[in-house]
Amino acid sequence: MATVVKPTKIKQKPHSKPNGDDEDRDEEEEPQFPLIAPIIFEPDTFDIVFILDNREIRSQQEHDDIVAQLADRGVHVEVRKLELGDALWIARRRDDSTELVLDYIIERKRMHDLVASIKDGRYVEQKTRMHHSGATHVVYVIEKYDSEALQAFSQARVTSRSRCRIWTMVARGRSWC
């Protein structure tokens, strides 16, 4: 299991005032991550795997269908519990099974669920957690939408923009595959 590194607070040096007066101001604290040695995966030493949250699979038949459709496209799929998102990509080293989460998180929502989560604030909270994960590519796959749901989404999105300004990509589709 990977260790989560949390930022620590460091004290900044006092700043000079604009008028040239060097009188100390209140010290500001700014979060900073400790230095971490990079983990390097050399070419041809790892596999790319699509990880699907086990809570997104409702039946063995659905599991088999998803895995088969993605396998037909050359994608290796594994199912496990994810703390964030419904799916993501990892790189897994072949010699020691070390895993690195790649820079994409996928969240799947039905249009009516997305509208409800925007209205009740869950969307902003989830979007913020995804932003803080460090992933720069967050993709929402929107399923089962129609013109009425699209209109409700447009209205809810205006509300959402005033609360949270974290960019995401949205892809519309019928299902995962």
What digits encode the pLDDT tens for the residues 123-141?
888 888 888 888 888 888 8
For the CA atoms of 67, 138, 156, 152, what is the dihedral angle to 10 degrees?
Answer: -30
Q: How confident is the model at residue 146 (pLDDT cuts 50, 70, 90)?
A: low
Write down the pLDDT at residue 27: 54
Instruction: Tell me if 21 is assigned to some domain.
Output: no
Instruction: Tell me if 9 is assigned to some domain.
Output: no
Instruction: Tell me if 132 is assigned to some domain.
Output: yes
SS3 sequence, 66-77? HHHHHHHCCCCE
Pair of tokens at residue 120: 């009740």
For residues 129-156, one letter each, b for 16 or more C-beta atoms within 10 angstroms of the residue's C-beta and e for the rest, the string is: ebbebebeebbbbbbebeeebeebbeeb
Tokens 């400790």 belong to 34
Please count the structural domains in the chain.
Answer: 1
Query: Do 137 and 105 form a contact (C-beta atoms < 8 A)?
Result: yes
d(CA 150, CA 163): 20
Mean pLDDT of 33-41: 84
Structural domain including 95 reads 46-173
Q: How confident is the model at residue 11 (pLDDT cuts 50, 70, 90)?
A: very low
d(CA 122, CA 128): 10
Q: Which residue has the higher pLDDT, 156 or 135?
A: 135
Write down the pLDDT at residue 102: 92
Q: Which residues are catalytic?
A: 113
Instruction: Tell me if 162 is assigned to some domain.
Output: yes
Instruction: Tell me if 5 is assigned to some domain.
Output: no
Instruction: Tell me if 54 is assigned to some domain.
Output: yes
Instruction: Tell me if 141 is assigned to some domain.
Output: yes
CA atoms within a 13 Å half-sphere pointing along the CA-CB vector of 72: 6
Instruction: Tell me the DSSP string of 123-156.
Output: HHHHHHHHHHTT-SEEEEEEES--HHHHHHHHHH
Tokens 């595959």 belong to 177
d(CA 147, CA 169): 20
Instruction: Tell me if 32 is assigned to some domain.
Output: no
Residue 163, domain CATH: 3.40.50.10130
Query: Do 125 and 164 form a contact (C-beta atoms < 8 A)?
Result: no
